[in-house]
């Protein structure tokens, strides 16, 4: 085992991550230590860096789409082996006692810890994680291709379930999550309508290449009324826009952890039993379900790879929408 680890560390909000040498970390009795092979970059990392989430903890190593192999293991850990490939997601710890944990809604736990936000994450050569929240990934698929499944895929999956089983599904914001979810929705026999930033023809083409039946700007109306819409973009103006696009009784699901202000809108957009919901975090059950399905669906993730030390460039490119699909850091 190495005696040090290297990480891209957020030391001050709204400033670049800094390449930092840190002392090696040993796993606690309920933890595993993972040699990071790949870590996805998520919009939530931008919200962490920008100080848009409450109670930021600094310094912090961001990154919550970790794929790696266990290289040290705590004495209480059962069911995981040294050398096994695992994925570590956003939800990094729950209390197990609160009403939400007791009620199978651990995603809403009163005392949670989140990887890359309140627990050090995967923009590093190694990470320590609560073993109960490490998902075995098996040996199918490359580390790089699996990383985006750990948040973009998982949160997308929970959003899709909450959107209901309507056939006509709108996706607002066609980034890492939507590019995975479009493949899942199509596999389920749904029709996907992809909405991008107005004029972003390249992303509209990308959406059609993944099976979207229609792609256009978020300022356009879809050709069919939608049964449900999921908003991945962190843009509050899209809430009334999406409500306008769904039929009576339809659902609009906000999938992001942060969104700009939602403008006032007239009640008739919500009237007729339209529903507006949000999705927060994930449960381990979501993870197990989705990771079991992913190989059956044959999801192909489109990734842009960056060396770990170029994490700041990856964040800048994500902010600017400069790549299709998902960015992945490789140590």
Contact positions vs Zn ion (CB under 5 A)? 42, 44, 94-95, 98, 101, 109, 151
Q: How far apart are CA 127 and CA 133, in angstroms?
A: 13
Q: How far is the CB of 94 from Zn ion (least distance, A)?
A: 5
CB of 282 to Zn ion, least distance (A): 10
Torsion of CA 280, 12, 15, 326, to 10 degrees: -30
- Smallest gap, in angstroms, from Cβ of residue 207 to Zn ion? 20
Least separation in angstroms between residue 98's CB and Zn ion is: 3
Q: Which is nearer to Zn ion, 22 or 98 (CB)?
A: 98
CB of 112 to Zn ion, least distance (A): 7
Q: Is 147 within 8 Å of 326 (Cβ atoms)?
A: yes
**Phi/psi of residue 262, each to 5°?**
-95, 120
Q: Which of 38, 151 has the CB closer to Zn ion?
A: 151
H/E element, 160: helix 152-162
* Comparison of 94 and 196: residue with beta carbon closer to Zn ion: 94
Dist. CA 268–CA 239, nearest whole Å: 13
CB nearer to Zn ion: give 161 or 208: 161
Residue position matching structure tokens 């998982």? 154
Nearest residue to 136 via CA among 328, 6, 287:
287
Residue in 215, 213, 217, 197 with CA at minimum distance from that of residue 205: 215
Q: Which is nearer to Zn ion, 151 or 229 (CB)?
A: 151
């Amino acid at each position: 085992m190495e005696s040090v680890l290297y990480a891209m560390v957020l030391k001050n909000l709204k400033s670049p991550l800094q390449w930092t040498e840190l002392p090696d970390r040993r796993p606690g009795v309920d933890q595993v230590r993972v040699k990071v092979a790949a870590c996805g970059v998520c919009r939530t990392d931008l919200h962490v860096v920008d100080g848009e989430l409450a109670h930021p903890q600094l310094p912090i190593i961001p990154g919550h789409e970790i794929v790696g192999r266990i290289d040290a293991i705590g004495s209480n850990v059962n069911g995981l082996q040294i050398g096994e490939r695992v994925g570590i997601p956003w939800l990094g710890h729950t209390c197990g006692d609160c009403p939400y944990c007791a009620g199978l809604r651990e995603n809403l736990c009163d005392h949670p810890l989140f990887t890359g936000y309140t627990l050090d994450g995967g923009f590093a050569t190694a990470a320590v994680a609560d073993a109960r929240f490490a998902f075995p990934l098996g040996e199918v698929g490359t580390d790089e291709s699996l990383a985006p499944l750990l948040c973009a895929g998982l949160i997308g999956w929970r959003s899709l379930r909450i959107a209901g089983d309507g056939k006509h599904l709108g996706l607002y914001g066609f980034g890492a999550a939507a590019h995975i979810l479009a493949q899942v929705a199509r596999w389920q026999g749904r029709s996907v309508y992809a909405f991008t930033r107005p004029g972003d023809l390249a992303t509209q083409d990308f959406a059609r290449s993944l099976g979207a039946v229609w792609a256009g700007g978020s300022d356009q109306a879809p050709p069919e009324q939608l049964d449900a819409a999921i908003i991945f973009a962190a843009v509050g103006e899209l809430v009334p826009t999406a409500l306008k696009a769904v039929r009576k009784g339809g659902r609009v699901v906000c999938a992001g952890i942060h969104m700009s202000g939602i403008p006032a809108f007239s009640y008739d957009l919500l009237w007729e039993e339209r529903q507006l919901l949000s999705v927060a975090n994930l449960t381990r059950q979501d993870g197990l379900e989705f990771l079991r399905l992913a190989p059956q669906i044959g999801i192909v993730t489109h990734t842009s790879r960056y060396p770990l030390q170029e994490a700041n460039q990856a964040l800048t490119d994500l902010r600017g929408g400069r790549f299709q699909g998902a960015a992945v850091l490789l140590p």
